[in-house]
Amino acid sequence: MASSDDTNVGYKVHIDRALCTSCGLCEAFCPVNVFEMNDGPQAVRPEDCWGCETCAGQCPVHAIRIEASPAAKAAFEEREVAAPLDPEIKARYREWAQVLTDVLGLRWHPVAISLVKAGDPLPDVPMPEERLRFCQSLMAARRGRSLMMPANRHACPDGTSILGLTPMPEKLASGELYILFHKLDSVEAAKRMVHERPCLPPRTVDATVVTPLSDAACEAEVVAIVAQPEQIMWLSMATSYYTGHRHDFHASGYNAQCVETTLLPMTTGEINISFGCYGCRASSDVGDDCMMMGIPVSLMPQVVKGLKELGKKAIPQSRDKIYLPPF
Ligand code: SF4
Ligand code: SF4
């Protein structure tokens, strides 16, 4: 096994040459250009490595291992732990979760999403052993798991950079990689898709946290719901119940959970829907008949109140199909 020989680094890159097929994915995806392809991948700028493990997550043959120095390990392990969530907020979230579940008949937990800002204390939430995509973590949370993921627990370079955990790898920003994966017709189209989506500044977020809303460990920024279109429709109507406001949803089939369900509601303060994206549909157990909604926490009181009203007559009557002609 070869490794970078630089000793003045927080992280060392080890590449198992016996496994490596020189596919170049590590070079393409490293957000800080540590690698160059020169008779196989070489870690030519090891001092720039900050241990995000994007390369290891992308290597199809698991040939890369990142070794953290004792100082780098200690820096993470000794991070301040956040105080437990205020019991009043916890009780409020539980009540919201109950209303959503009862009125809509949700099958899965609504999910509380938070992004831990750089340097903030970390909530007491377990990290997964394996690397997961953000969408996979969200799907696991809807089934009851609580997960905190710093960059090196994330498996999707797109989501990780969009959510501000890493810089955007150059070949993703330029659109080049999307062409490679046959997802868009031209580099111009890929560039436009990248340009039109929001993206947090690099390394402004230290970890993503997803938990069932009824068991949140820290203040949520967005509540995500995975549900059938009819249930999402009622949520949309609940949001408008007191205002009549019609929504302009932003959906594309790209970056469903990171952009459409999380970042858009977080940055616009409006609800947003998503039909899912090719990534989350291929890599998680989300049903073909499900879609998603992201609700900024600031709108939750209004949504829950509107939903309670709709649940009194409108929802049961509609589900009873009262407009069908008698037969
Ligand atoms: S992808 Fe991350 S872990 Fe891998 S070499 Fe680049 S900075 Fe280091
Ligand atoms: S991603 Fe893995 S197999 Fe591909 S070049 Fe890098 S180390 Fe080799």
Atom of ligand 2 nearest to the CA of 62: 2
| Rounded mean pLDDT, 213-222 | 98
Closest ligand (CA of 35) = 1
Query: Would you state the structure tokens that stand for residue 214, as one six-digit string?
Result: 């009824």
Own/partner pairs for 264-268, CB < 8 Å, 24+ apart? 264/198, 264/294, 265/222, 265/294, 265/295, 265/296, 266/115, 266/221, 266/222, 266/294, 266/296, 267/198, 268/296
Assess whether the C-beta atom of 22 lies below 6 angstroms from ligand 2: yes
DSSP string, 40-92: SEEES-GGG--S--HHHHH-TT--EEEEE-HHHHHHHHTSPBPPPPPHHHHHH
Question: In the prediction, which pLDDT does 53 show?
Answer: 92
**pLDDT for residue 209 is more than 60:** yes
d(CA 256, CA 259): 6
**pLDDT for residue 104 is more than 90:** yes
Confidence class for position 143, pLDDT limits 50, 70, 90: very high
Token match 């800002």: residue? Answer: 117
Confidence class for position 3, pLDDT limits 50, 70, 90: very low
Element (H, E) at 286: none
**What are the angstrom distances between the C-alpha of 146 and each of 2, 52, 97, 232, 302?**
37, 21, 15, 23, 26
CA of 56 to the centre of ligand 2 (A): 8
Question: In the prediction, which pLDDT does 241 show?
Answer: 98
CA of 153 to the centre of ligand 1 (A): 13
Pick the residue whose CA is nearest to atom 2 on ligand 1. Answer: 52
Token match 């899965």: residue? Answer: 108
pLDDT in tens, 33-60: 999 999 999 999 999 998 999 999 999 9
Query: Is the backbone of residue 96 left (phi > 0), alpha (psi -120 to 50) or beta?
Result: alpha
Average pLDDT, the chain: 93
Strands 111-117 and 147-150: unpaired
Assess whether the C-beta atom of 15 lies below 6 angstroms from ligand 2: yes
Task: Name residues contacting ligand 1 (CB within 6 A).
Answer: 11, 13, 30, 32, 34, 49-55, 66
CB 221 within 8 A of CB 115: yes
Confidence class for position 2, pLDDT limits 50, 70, 90: very low
Query: Is the backbone of residue 187 left (phi > 0), alpha (psi -120 to 50) or beta?
Result: alpha
Element (H, E) at 219: none
Q: For the ranges 98-102, 189-193, 319-323, which has the lowest average pLDDT? A: 319-323
CA of 152 to the centre of ligand 1 (A): 9
Atom of ligand 2 nearest to the CA of 27: 6
Pocket test for ligand 1, best of 29, 33, 34 (most atoms within 8 A of CB): 34
Confidence class for position 179, pLDDT limits 50, 70, 90: confident
Output the 3-class SS for 140-176.
HHHCCCCEEEEHHHECCHHHHHHCCCCCCCHHHHCCH
CA of 261 to the centre of ligand 1 (A): 27
Assess whether the C-beta atom of 57 lies below 6 angstroms from ligand 2: no
CA of 38 to the centre of ligand 1 (A): 17
Counting DSSP H helices and E strands in the chain, the numbers are 14, 11
Confidence class for position 9, pLDDT limits 50, 70, 90: low
